[in-house]
Amino acid sequence: MSETTETIGLRMSRQLPATPEEVFDAYTDAEKQKIWFSILDEEPGVVEIEVDLRVGGTQTAVWGPDRDTLFRETQTFLEIDRPHRLVTESTGSDPSGQEMTTHVVVTFAANDGGTLMTVEQTGFPTPEVRDFFESMAWVGAFDRIEAYLVHYPGA
């Protein structure tokens, strides 16, 4: 069976050292995102984030090492069940202007004194793009969120 863009997806989880509420808020709050987006960077880059956390609202993030090399992602909130589940349609573009739209479901489950954060993302144009998100993009996001939660406990 061949994969189609609807079926090219990933599912990843990470155990994080905070409550579901703290992880959900770190993932969705613009000021907290501005910190964790660059928490592991040696050089400060560009990070601009605006969030309208309501069904039908959007989150727009623009980031990169400099103004000439920016990534952009706009997520439209389809479902919000704080602190358990968040569903978005995400349209992102890289510095070349190439765009991609995917469907993202994130869950936050209390687990073993922390939170198991699980991401399911579907709609990738190719298995290679999915593999990049699985091995780099989401691993980096999980690493940054975890670093934020460790450095700013209870925030």
Using an 8 Å Cβ cutoff, are 81 and 102 in contact?
Answer: no
Q: Quick one: pLDDT at residue 42?
A: 81
Distances (CA, A) of 38 to 44, 76, 95, 100: 7, 23, 18, 23
Q: Does the global pTM surpass 0.85? A: yes
Q: Quick one: pLDDT at residue 4?
A: 59
Q: Quick one: pLDDT at residue 48?
A: 94
- Strands of the sheet containing 58-66, edge to edge, are 9-16, 114-122, 99-111, 85-93, 69-81, 58-66, 46-51
Q: Quick one: pLDDT at residue 1?
A: 46
Q: Quick one: pLDDT at residue 3?
A: 55
Segments of the chain scoring below 50 in pLDDT: 1
